[in-house]
Each structure stands twice: as structure tokens, then as C-alpha cells.
Structure 1
């Protein structure tokens, strides 16, 4: 007997930008006739992919293209990739929220999904009524749902508001109830998107613990999408790396995370709005050379190049520096220098951010750039847009090379001895 929970074969999903219709009734009929025969849409162009940084002659975007993989029963699988890689589209297809353009999915068991906040809940119904509605959708009897009701309410912590319409819930309450319903009702497959980011840290930890219990203790299959590599690594054994709508790699979670973090598009970044264009990010050494390896005795500098399209642009940015296990080492943002940004004129500007020597531990580091308004409104997060390696400088360590030292940073203090 096969133990495969989900099998995806030649799966593709195309979206048409702009106007949805083909322009004529005859073409719409041809498209409909092809679909009922199980044939590919005759008006989709071949070869387009979901690369958001390039323009195309076609108005068709392949969010997913020729996806193939298998997931065994009881596996906890992380799905990782940059924004626009196709992660959420894949989960929607697996959850049967949307249909694939081509390909097929076969699987065993009922699927409980936690996708975008609000998916699967009726806003006019109370929390209690939505629990029974979700259970009914999964094919559960009323008595089965009633048996799980107390567990769900206790986990979500919303007993006081159980009979209040969910449209009055805060986003945090909504997510807590949605996760509790998805995790506790009797489904064989649990699909969780990045919505856990809405909850507080304590609830996220609680959710990860519950997903581990669901996967290891109950033998249910879990698919988990997250940008938090620590959560993926601690919870999942396997991972699927998506890039531009295609499967880049499948395998051991540690190996896949390392591959994902190190396959970055160096230097060039791409973001544009009415005020500015973000063009590049680089690591420079003391001689102004672009480098990808430094010693922790060097004073590195991060350079961000931005072209402003108006005087006094409404812009700011934050440089987030992560280590190899995706722990946040530090965050540097332009809120500290807003007075300078408000004086910028039309043209190209380079922001230089220096780092003190002997501050970073040996290891691999990754930079994400958060672009925002001066008021803090987030425009875009460009993940893992630059990676570099720091090597230990054994000279300041007394000539003894020890590699990576304990801790997130590696200070070499000037220790003074005073004899009394």
C-alpha cells in the first residue's frame, strides 16, 4: 500500500494580466471546449514565467510551471522561496481554492487549510457557527465537531467571544481561531501559509508546537510556508525550494535552506514607485572593492544605491542582517537620518552604512532590504538580496584560529588589568 499523501504531476498555473476575456465569444468558446476535453488553453503563450523583475510581451504569467513532487504521509514539509515564487498559489491549488491550468494532483484524505486571514470563515457567523461550518465542509458529523469544540476554544483563547460574529474579531483573534479549527478538526493533511506572522510570539510558538504534535504524534501530513527559516528548520524535515514558479530543489530541510539563502541575485535589486527606484546593494571593503568574503578585522560597508524621481521623496529603508540560521543579528534603518532624506533632490544617491571591525562572528550572512515610506508604510521586502562570508581573524585572537565563537556577535574588547 502506497504511503504517498500528495502527488503533484506537471502542475502549472497561468494568470492573465489585465482584461480576463480573450476578446471574442468564439475564442472564449474555444477555451471552454479545450477545458472540458482536458486540453491546454489554446491562447496561453509558451515559455513565460513568473519573473517579476522582467517585462514580457505576453499578458500571461505562469505563476507555477511544470511542478512535480511527492509528499509522504506524516511528513512535515516546508515550502520556501522569495516573494512571487509561487508558494501561496501552490497551496491554493492543493487546498482546491483555485484550479490548475495544466497537470494533476492526487492525494489521500481530507485537507484543512489556513491560508490568508479570513479564508473559509463567514464574517456574519459567530466563532461557534464557523467552527461547525468548517467541520461540515471537511465532511465531519455534528457530534464529531462537538467533541472537539472545547479543545478548539481553549487553544484559541476566545471563549468570551465565541458567540460574537467573527467580523468583529481582531486579526489576531481571527488567526488564533482559524488555526485552532484547522489543527484540531480531523483532517489528514494540514496546510498552513504565512498567516502565523499575524499572531504574537507566544501564540506562534504554541502553533509550531501543535503542528509538531499533529505531524509526529498523530501522523498527519503538514505543509508549511514561512519566511522564518528558524521555524521551518525546527519543525520540518523536508523542504521544497520554489523559484520563479518552478521547483528549484527538493530534499533535506537544512540543505534546502542553505541552498535558498546562498542562491541570491547579487548586487542588483529592483523596486520602483512614483518617488524612487532602488537599484543595487553591495558590500565594500576598505579599498572600495565589492566583496563577498571579509575577515572580522575589516571594516565593511554596505552601500545602497537609490535613484530619486522627485525632490524630497517619501522614502526610507531598513537593512536587516541575518546569520546562517536566519536569526536577526541587527537592523539599521533610515529613521535615524530622516532629516537628510527629506533634503534629497532628483538624481542618484548612494547610502553608505559602515560596520565596526571585530563585530561579526565567523559565518555566512544574508541581507534583506525593507523599503518603506518616511512614515513607516512598507512598500516591499527584498529578501536575501546579498550574501557574504565573514572569516575569523586569528591575529587579534593571539594567533590561535578557533573559527566560529559562541554567540551571535564576536567582540574583541580591549581588556585592562588593574592591580590593587
Structure 2
């Protein structure tokens, strides 16, 4: 199968705190270096796109040495953490911004849906914007007219077709923008996670349309999303972007698994028992862990405690914890009194049922006291873990609100 997109040694550099890439003097220095066949003098001092590090230079590589190829008819999923460079890559591929280094070769027209209102003139009506976008793609008025009713029906904006789109809600603008991009038949469709703005019905239609574009029309789709179920279901291949570089390119399933594995590396689902804060003259933590380390929303998970008692006078311990969300909201607390076993340990396991907590990052605050409720040890945010999606309907990309997400019994009368 022939390739549709080829990216070679692509890099994009920005100057921090500036609009544009720098001053006229810097542009002239770059130009002079280029005509002499020299390296960009500012590329040597630019930093890697790592949000965890404090900037030591005015320049940063948002993208660095990106290389990949996309075949015709492929749906490529692009995944990575916020700030990794995904949206910058799409903007460069869509020719919204130019690369600092490297080349992009594409075959065919590109239509992009990157942000709410992308490619739409706010003062023009929906009808006018449809024809404007078609003209930008090189289509004749007759060709656009032949697709007009399909676009209007898909977007659900028939009542407002002659209304300036500045009056539209963000959801209406996304629906119209996607319909225009999809039905005007570009060879390459680029979609960022802006689809998450739409409602569930529209997202289901959009996912179905992207599948149809790839399978039945042989067109290429680039798709960015934080919904890993959607990426697995929709995409054939994927790339993982980390700190502005491509860390891996593989099947979508393998890329998603690698992304989730890397995401869990930044969490601490178990304690380091060597740390002195987990021991005093009364007790010592031998085990405090969440199992599995990255729970799925549809499976039970456990919090395991094993505590060594240094004081022979302790018959047992009161073990309690608060489960805290990443927004520092206490979701619930639990605890019990556990008796000392014959080996001089207190061991206990708390099981959190499936389909109870919503997806997201959570922390544990731990409180240990003796039989008289005298505090022996308190630990804040000592363990962190993330609950991930594994069975959600991938046709809906928006976040389900709330900290808990129980499966409730519904009855239709």
C-alpha cells in the first residue's frame, strides 16, 4: 500500500514568552546560517519539551526529530500526555504553522478539525462557511453544492444555516466543522480531541463517519484523543509522543498499552519500605500497595496493608484511610481494627468494588492508631494510582462527570 504522509526529521522550535519565533536579528542570523549550509545557531541552546524541568533557555523544541509514515487508508492514533506535542504536530501537518527543520510530504488535500471554530469565519453564516471551506480545498461550487445537504443533515444545523456562526454554541461549531471536513472529501482528515466538546449522539456519528472514511473511501485519518478505548477501536496504527519526540510507532493496541504503562510509572501505587517515614518505635510498614497497580474501572482492586509491631503491648491496630481525588476532594474513608497475628504483624486487605470510582488519579491518606485510638502514624498522599477505562462505549469521548460512577439499575416503563 502506498504512503499518504511522510514525515522526516521534523522539528519545531518556539521562543518562550514571545509571539513568533524571535527578533529580526535572530531571523537574519538564521537566514545567513542557512545560505552557508550551517546549523541554526539557536537550535544548540533550545531545550527539550519537558514540562517538569525549569527553563534554562529562551528556546524550546516543541517537536524534535519526528519521523513516521502513514499509508493510504490508515487511521493513525496519536497519543501522549498533555503538553507532549500532539497538537503542535497536527498544526504543522495541517500547514497552520511551519516546521523549524525537516520535511513533510503529503499526497492530496488536508482538512483539519483542531480547535472549536477552526477554519470558520465568525462573521459569515454557516452556509457561507461551507462554501468558503470547499473553495479553500479547491472544490468547485457545483461539487460543494452536491455535498451541501449531507453536511447540513449531519451537523444538525439546518435551522441556523443562515445565521453567523459567532452565534453558535461551541458544540454547534464543532458539529458543523466536522461535517464540512468529512463530507468535502479531503484525502487526509486531521481530528484533534475537539470532538469531546460534542454530545454523545454527535460523537457516535463522528466516530462512525471516520470509520467509513477510512474503510470505504480509502482516505487517511489522523486522530488525537485521551480516550484510549476510542483509539483502540478506531485506529489501526499509532504513535506515542513524549516530550516532543516519537517514542514508539506500532499497532494502536500496542501503543495504547505502552502509553498506559508509562503513565503508571509516574504514580506510586506502593510504598518504598526503606523510607524512614514508614517506621517508628511502635510500628513499621512492610507493605502498603494498590493491586493491580493500574486498576480498570470494571474490576475490583485491593489496598493491602502489612505492618510489623515493634511494641509487644499492642494487641492490634486501627487502620483507616481516606481516598482523595486529584482535585483534593475526599471521596470516602474506611477503616477497621485488625488484631495482631502470631508472627507479630497486622495484615489487612480492603477491596474496592468495580464500577464504583470514576476514572482518574487518586491518593490515599493513611491513619494508624492503637486500641485506645492514640495516633501512631499519619501519612498524607502516601500512595497514588490511576483508574483507567476499559469497557466504556468508545462512541462517547466526553468525560463522565463525578468522582463515583456506579452501575445503577434502570427500568423503562
Return the TM-score normalized by structure 1. 0.68
Superposition deviation, residue 184 in structure 1: 0.3
Name the SS of the counterpart of 1:53 in structure 2: coil
Superposition deviation, residue 12 in structure 1: 0.4
> Bigger shift: 38-47 or 240-249?
38-47
Partner residue of 2:361?
Answer: 368
Change (3 A) 1:224 1:298: closer
Partner residue of 1:141?
Answer: 140
Name the SS of the counterpart of 2:10 in structure 1: strand
In structure 2, distance between residues paired with 1:148 and 1:355: 61
Name the SS of the counterpart of 2:222 in structure 1: strand
Partner residue of 2:188?
Answer: 189
In structure 1, distance between residues paired with 2:90 and 2:22: 31
Change (3 A) 1:27 1:359: closer
In structure 2, distance between residues paired with 1:123 and 1:297: 49
Tell whether 2:325 aligns with 1:318.
Answer: yes
Name the SS of the counterpart of 2:111 in structure 1: strand
Report if aligned partners of 2:42, 2:59 keep a CA contact under 8 Å in 1: no
Superposition deviation, residue 48 in structure 1: 1.9
In structure 2, distance between residues paired with 1:156 and 1:6: 28
Report if aligned partners of 1:267, 1:282 keep a CA contact under 8 Å in 2: no
Q: Quick one: which of 353, 358, 361 aligns to 1:359? A: 353
Superposition deviation, residue 267 in structure 1: 5.1
Tell whether 2:265 aligns with 1:291.
Answer: no
Partner residue of 2:70?
Answer: 71
Tell whether 2:123 aligns with 1:130.
Answer: no
Query: Alpha-carbon deviations, 1:167-206, whole Å to 9, x = none?
Result: 0000010000000000000210000000001001111111
Superposition deviation, residue 64 in structure 1: 0.6
Name the SS of the counterpart of 2:70 in structure 1: strand
What aligned pairs does 1:254-403 form with structure 2 within 5 A after superposition? 254-264=253-263, 266=265, 282-283=269-270, 287=285, 289-291=287-289, 293=291, 298-300=302-304, 318-319=325-326, 334=329, 356-357=350-351, 359-360=353-354, 367-368=360-361, 386=385
Partner residue of 1:162?
Answer: 161
In structure 2, distance between residues paired with 1:227 and 1:22: 29
Report if aligned partners of 1:293, 1:388 keep a CA contact under 8 Å in 2: no
Gaps of 5+ in 2: 274-283, 294-299, 306-323, 333-347, 364-383, 389-404, 407-413
Partner residue of 1:199?
Answer: 198
In structure 2, distance between residues paired with 1:240 and 1:23: 31
Change (3 A) 1:291 1:163: same
Partner residue of 1:346?
Answer: none
Change (3 A) 1:386 1:43: same
Query: Alpha-carbon deviations, 1:205-242, whole Å to 9, x = none?
Result: 11000000001010000000000111111111111110
Name the SS of the counterpart of 2:120 in structure 1: coil
Report if aligned partners of 1:45, 1:58 keep a CA contact under 8 Å in 2: no
Name the SS of the counterpart of 1:197 in structure 2: helix
Superposition deviation, residue 95 in structure 1: 0.3
Gaps of 5+ in 1: 269-280, 302-316, 320-331, 338-353, 371-384, 390-407, 410-420
Return the TM-score normalized by structure 2. 0.69
What aligned pairs does 1:12-23 form with structure 2 within 5 A after superposition? 12-19=11-18
Report if aligned partners of 2:49, 2:244 keep a CA contact under 8 Å in 1: yes
Superposition deviation, residue 55 in structure 1: 1.1
Question: What is the alpha-carbon root mean square deviation over aligned residues?
Answer: 3.4
Change (3 A) 1:64 1:333: same
Larger radius of gyration: 2
